[in-house]
Amino acid sequence: MALLAERAFTTRPTLTKVEKGDPGVSLGVYASVLFVLGMTERLAALVDPAQDPLGMALEEENLPKRIRTPAGG
């Protein structure tokens, strides 16, 4: 654990918080840990809107209910 913390440029207590999923830990620390573990592909999934069904549903609620075509065309 000490080696992982050192390679991720963080402390052991912060690494423990990462393991527990503490939301107070910065995304940069999570990214560093994933990089050290060779799991950087997980970062892409983190920002992919298709991986967030709740976010997609909320965004769909904000779409207009109907769309009008311009007159004369």
Q: Tokens representing 40? A: 């950087």
pLDDT of residue 72: 66
Residue ranges per structural domain of the chain: 2-61
Amino acid at site 19? E
How far is Cα 7 from Cα 50, in angstroms, rounded to an integer? 31
CB atoms under 10 Å from CB of 62, counted, come to 6
Residues near 11 by beta carbon (within 8 Å), at least 6 away in sequence: 5
Each residue's pLDDT tens digit in the chain (73 positions)?
899 999 999 999 999 999 999 999 998 999 999 999 999 888 888 778 888 888 888 888 888 877 777 776 5
